[in-house]
Amino acid sequence: MKTNIGRLVLVAGLTTGLLATAGAAMARDLTVTGWGGTAQAAQDKAMFQPYVKETGNKLVQDSWNGGIGVLRTKAQGDSTWDVVQVEADELALGCEEGIYAKLDWSKLGNKDEYLPGMAGECGVGTFVWSTALAYDKAKLGENGPKSWADFFDTKKFPGKRSLRRGPRQSLEFALLADGVAPGDIYKQLATKEGVDRAFKKLDTIKKDIVWWEAGAQPVQLLQSGEVVMTSVYNGRIFAANNADKTNFAIAWPAGFVYQVDSWAILANSPNKDEAMGFLKFIQTPARQQDVANVLAYGPTLKDSTGQIAPNVLPYLPTAPGVIEHGMSFNTAFWVDNIEALNERFNAWAAQ
Amino acid sequence: MVADETRNLRASLRRAERRRTLRGLGLTLPLILFTLVFFIVPIAGMLVKSVQNGPMPDILPQTSALLQPWRASAERGVPDEAVFAAFAGELRTASQERTLPELATRLNFENAGYRSLLMATARRLPEAPTGTWRETLTGINPQWGEVAIWAALGRASTRVTDNYLLAALDHRRDDNDRIQATDPSRAVYVASLLRTLEISGIVTLLCLLLAYPLAYRLATLPESTANLLMILVLLPFWTSLLVRTASWLVILQREGPLNDALRWLGLISQPLELVFNRPGVIIAMTHVLLPFMVLPIYSVMKGIPPNYMRAATSLGAPFFTAFRRVYFPLSLPGVTAGCLLVFILAIGYYITPLLIGGANDQMVSSLISFLALQTLNWGLAAALGTVLLVITVALYFVYSRVVGTDGVKLG
């Protein structure tokens, strides 16, 4: 979702190669694995380099491309990773399976300093990314959509709109538009009636939806005028406005779905104490802000938005007054139901 | 003396012969190995995967064994205490040995939510039962007192299964293992297979209609002009598939050059919808696959001596009669090869429909990729692949019966 795959593979390949040669020569240093690309570059600058400089400890980096299967392998064999950045589903599944070490919060700091749900027993949230409603301000001006109900209102906003292909983050938004409270969305989706209700809502604009597949598509669709509004990853809007001087806006109050990327420590790590110290060191408001200023992914610490650059703030899902409108992506629900609901989605699309 | 020489001669002949065979084998060995490793083995693996049930007989061996007589019984109630006790014991072991997630994933294919049910039950499982194990488990979750979950465990308890192949054909087994059609709200695989065949068929036909006259022109033009035009045919061939697909996206979009041009010419007043729907997919796929049709037809046409047509015309046949009765039959092997090539490439298409198609234009490969990568349901993914393979082979045989594939030239 966040990075250029080609670059990622290259980085992964290079680092693995380096690790293989370095590993033979010395005992294992603390190994931190991120998602490569611009995200890891920002983390390296704001978090990893200061850690090495200030503590004098050594640190090796690796990168990966996600997948619970990879973590299962890592947890079984010889330990090669200590700290790894995981997405919400990998965190939930891995925690359930005992892949991660339980975090000792007495060593990590105060859970209350984190936004709700971002400091858990297996992982400490490092940034928040979201799928939100965006539109082109150059075209709609101040009269842009204010809610997901507006997204489904083709009279008020004629033209095509775009959602990510598949049930994820289209059923949630359909129910939001239908007046379901954010807190009740997944309760509704767990019932047949709730799913029916969501598809019925989608039916109302079925002909007007362009389905996007890759994260870069919704931005391109807005840019080319193919659609008037779209669901999109917030970071993409920030990047497009920066790089292409577009004037896209995110309608945060409409509601959005956010996911947290977390740091977790692998249960078979021989460097657990050092890893805890490392996490305590990097998880400070100042360091989270430095990362956020580059990526526009929201910090997870409550008082981390003070020093965010003003040009980044409108894109942050965790900005004050914004996060309240969001709802957390329900990993457990989707892991259980994705296959069944995907079949349902495809059957619906074929009607 | 003479006998000795004969023997020597024979021996050296044999040696030379053997050396030649070895050299021949050595030269073809890389290809044979390549075919074996990258073609035969994966296909065999796919066929095996499509009937391989999953890890339950290894993770819950006793429960699996105990469930067999239960499955054979005519009227199924909830299994007896022995099954519950064996299951509880093995569930704890699986949880400790971390094999449970694998099993839970497998069971979730039977019914959404069974993954969580299994994981949550294992977490709350006590050392010893309170009352019977049946009471204990139903106390943790009432679903354990229903037939459905046991029927699902029963379906997962064998080594070989037809579940995946049935699912690929939109059928499933109910709680009594009777085969039933999948609920229409979730029956997607047959429709997707048919859609794949339909799109591939249309694309093949369009490629043929475009390629045949083009190849004919190329084959009859003087060498230098033909070579220049050939480069134009091959140019897209050398461009990355992704780039070509993205270019079509740009050309066909609402505010794209094609719509702009048509509007400027006054042919349309509203922009045509050419992307994120079926026409877009067909246009882009036809373009991408066209060289695979042009090349075999061209190479066959190159081999048809121009004298034949001249002879036919000089004997009084009008051009079209001569073409129909002389040239066209001679060019058929190229047409056959081209059609086969394009059709077979088209049914595996993935990226182009993904980027240019709408929600109802996805081919079966996108479902296979979803199942293989996202839900890790390799059984169903393999079953879909198997069904596709069977359909393709069947079509090939019908085709070769009707059109004949003798003398097919693939280049």
Residue A77 falls in which region: left (phi positive, over 0), alpha (psi -120 to 50) or beta:
beta
DSSP element (H, E) containing B241: helix B241-252
Contact map slice: A 233-272 vs B, CB within 8 A: none
- Specify the DSSP class assigned to residue B99: -
Residues A147 and A240 in one domain: yes
Q: What is the pTM of this model?
A: 0.86
Q: 118-137 in B: which are within 8 Å (CB) of A?
A: 119
Among the partner residues A336, A343, A344, nearest to B113 by beta-carbon distance:
A336
Q: In this structure, are B157 and B205 located in the same domain?
A: no
Question: CB contact, 8 Å: A343 with chain B?
Answer: yes
Q: Does A159 touch chain B (CB under 8 A)?
A: no
Q: Which of A14, A9, A66 is nearest to A37 (CA)?
A: A9
Q: Which residues of A touch B360 (CB under 8 A)?
A: 349-350
User: What pLDDT score does A25 carry?
Assistant: 38
Question: Which residue of B100, B253, B359 is in closest CB contact with A226?
Answer: B253
Q: Which of A339, A341, A345, A348 to probe the B interface (max B CBs under 10 A)?
A: A339
In contact, A205 and A106? CB cutoff 8 Å:
no
Across the range A260-270, mean pLDDT stands at 95
Q: Has residue A227 got a pLDDT over 90? A: yes
The verdict on B167 touching A (C-beta cutoff 8 Å) is no
DSSP 8-state code for residue B323: I
How far CA A90 is from CA of A8, A65, A102, A263, B377, in Å, comes to 19, 12, 15, 11, 17
| Chain B residues touching A337 at Cβ < 8 A | 112-113
- In sequence order, what are the residues at sequence separation of 6 or more whose Cβ sits closer than 8 angstroms to the Cβ of residue B89? B62
- In tens, the pLDDT along B45-55 reads 999 999 999 99
pLDDT digits (tens, 9 = 90+) for B165-180: 999 999 999 988 899 9
User: By CA distance, what is B110's nearest residue in A?
Assistant: A340
Confidence band, pLDDT 50/70/90 cuts, at residue A283: very high
CATH of the domain at B227: 1.10.3720.10
Using CA atoms, how far apart are residues B367 and B170, in angstroms rounded to an integer? 14
Mutual angle of helices B364-373 and A331-350, in 10-degree steps? 170
Please report the pLDDT score of residue A315 as a whole number.
Answer: 94
Q: Is A345 on the interface with B (CB under 8 A)?
A: yes
Nearest to A339 among B100, B109, B360 (CB): B109
B chain contacts of residue A72, beta-carbon cutoff 8 Å:
101
A26 and A116 housed in the same domain: yes
- Please give the DSSP secondary-structure letter assigned to residue B364: H
Residue B178 lies in a domain: no
Judgement on whether residues A155 and A228 belong to the same structural domain of the protein: yes
For residue B341, give its domain range: 189-402
In this structure, is residue B181 part of a structural domain? no
Binding-face residues of B in 208-237 toward A, CB within 8 A: none
Which pair of structure tokens corresponds to residue A50? Answer: 């200061």
Q: What is the pLDDT of residue A329?
A: 93
- Please say if the pLDDT value at position B396 is more than 90: no
Does residue B200 share a domain with residue B82? no
Residue A67 vs residues A214, B122, B376: alpha-carbon distances, Å: 18, 23, 11
pLDDT at A19 over 60: no
Would an 8 Å CB–CB cutoff place B98 in contact with chain A?
Answer: yes
Any domain includes B339: yes
Q: Are residues B209 and B116 in the same domain?
A: no
CA dist list (Å): A156 to A214, A226, A327? 28, 17, 26
Strands A326-328 and A256-265, bridge-based pairing: parallel
Query: Do residue A253 and residue A292 come from a single domain?
Result: no
Q: Residue A165's closest chain B neighbor by CA?
A: B359
- ipTM field: 0.86
Shared domain for B261 and B309, answered yes or no, is yes
Greatest CA separation for chain A: 68
B155 and B229 both lie in a single domain: no
- Do B98 and A98 make contact, defined as CB atoms within 8 angstroms? yes
Q: Where residue B74 falls among pLDDT bands split at 50, 70, 90?
A: confident
Q: How far apart are CA A111 and CA A221, in angstroms?
A: 40
Do B363 and B350 form a contact (C-beta atoms < 8 A)? yes
A254: tokens are 């409409």
Distances, alpha carbon A200 to alpha carbons A163, B93, B253, in Å: 16, 45, 28
The Cα–Cα gap between B68 and B76 comes to 12
* Predicted confidence band of residue B407 (pLDDT cuts 50, 70, 90): low
Report CB contact under 8 Å: B358, A349. yes
- Helices then strands, each counted (H, E), chain A: 16, 11
A228 vs chain B: nearest CA distance in angstroms?
12
Q: Which residues contact A229 (CB under 8 A, 6 or more apart)?
A: A133, A134, A135, A144, A145, A151, A157, A161, A162, A222
Q: Are residues B239 and B386 in the same domain?
A: yes
- Per the CB < 8 A criterion, the answer to whether A63 and A238 are in contact is no
Residue B15 lies in a domain: no
Confidence band, pLDDT 50/70/90 cuts, at residue A148: very high
The pLDDT, as a whole number, for residue A150 is 97
Tell whether B213 and B310 lie within a shared domain.
Answer: yes
B99, B103, B106, B108, best to mutate vs chain A, most A CBs in 10 Å: B108
| B30 within some domain | no
- CB contact B187 to A (< 8 Å): yes
Query: Are residues B64 and B100 located together in one domain of the fold?
Result: yes
Query: For residue B372, what is the nearest residue in chain A, using CA coordinates?
Result: A339
The continuous run of DSSP H or E covering A62 comes out as strand A59-63
Measure CB to CB from residue B359 to each of A75, A165, A341 and give the nearest one. Answer: A165
Please report residues of A whose CB lies closer than 8 A to that of B377. Answer: 339
CB–CB of A96 and B362 under 8 A?
no
Per-residue confidence (pLDDT) for residue A27, from 0 to 100: 62
Supply B208's token pair. Answer: 């043929």
Average pLDDT over residues A81-100: 91
* pLDDT surpasses 50 at B398: yes
Q: Which CATH number fits the domain that encloses residue A65?
A: 3.40.190.10
For B128, residues 6+ apart whose C-beta sits below 8 A from its C-beta are none
Predicted pLDDT of residue A18 = 47
Residue A10 has pLDDT above 70, yes or no: no
Single out the residue of B403, B353, B390, B394 nearest to residue B200, CA to CA: B353
Q: Are strands A248-250 and A123-136 parallel, antiparallel or unpaired?
A: antiparallel
Asked if B63 contacts B118 with a C-beta cutoff of 8 angstroms, the reply is: no
> A283, A349, A345: which is closest to A127 by C-alpha?
A283
Q: Structural domain tally of chain B?
A: 2
Are B113 and A344 in contact (CB < 8 Å)? Answer: no
Measuring CA to CA, how many Å separate A172 from each of A16, A106, A331? 39, 37, 13
DSSP B112-181: TTHHHHHHHHHHH--SS-SSSHHHHHHHH-GGGGSHHHHHHHHHHSSSB-SHHHHHHTTEEE-TT--EEE
* B232 and B85 part of one domain: no
Amino acid at B64: S
Could you say which of B188, B354, B374 has the minimum Cβ distance to residue A343?
B188
Mind telling me how many Å the CA of B402 is from chain A's nearest CA? 33
Of B1-15, B107-121, B165-179, B373-387, minimum mean pLDDT range: B1-15
Q: Are residues A227 and A346 in the same domain?
A: yes
Q: Summarize pLDDT for A108-122 with one digit per residue, the tens.
A: 988 999 988 899 999
Q: Distance, in angstroms, between A295 CA and closest chain B CA?
A: 26
A121 interfacial to chain B (CB closer than 8 Å): no
Query: Domain check: are A277 and A241 in the same one?
Result: no
Q: How far is B134 from chain A (nearest CA, A)?
A: 24
Closest partner CB to A336 (pick from B108, B354, B360): B108
Does the residue B100 lie in any domain?
A: yes
The answer to whether B106 and B156 have CB atoms below 8 angstroms apart is yes
What pLDDT does B1 receive?
A: 57
Same domain, B193 and B139: no
Pick the residue from chain A with its C-alpha nearest to B371: A339
Closest CA to A223 of A315, A349, A117, A137: A137
**Element (DSSP H or E) covering residue A84:** strand A83-86
Q: What is the pLDDT of residues B148-159, one digit of tens each?
A: 999 999 999 999
Residue-wise burial string across B196-216, b where 16 or more C-beta atoms lie within 10 A, e elsewhere: bbebbebbbebbbeebbebbb
| Best mutation target, B95, B98, B242, to test chain A (most A CBs within 10 A) | B98
**Inside any domain, residue B28:** no
The CA distances from residue A319 to A298, A299, B361, in Å, are 7, 9, 39
Instruction: Choose the mutation target among B95, B110, B115 for the interface with A, i.e. most A CBs under 10 Å.
Output: B115
Q: Say if residue A227 is in the same domain as residue A275.
A: no
B368 within a domain of the structure (yes/no):
yes
Could you tell me if B147 and B284 lie in one domain? no
Tell me the average pLDDT across A121-128.
94
B111 and B213 within one domain = no
| Largest Cα–Cα separation, chain B | 101
- State the residue range of the domain holding A120: 5-128+259-318
Residue B355, chain A, CB below 8 Å: the answer is: yes
CB A263 within 8 A of CB A48: no
Structural domain count of chain A: 2
Q: Do A188 and A197 contact (CB within 8 A), yes or no?
A: yes
Q: C-alpha angle A130/A127/A330, rounded to 5°? A: 50
What is the C-alpha to C-alpha distance for residues B209 and B206, in angstroms, rounded to an integer? 5
Name the DSSP class of B325.
I
Q: How far is B154 from chain A (nearest CA, A)?
A: 20
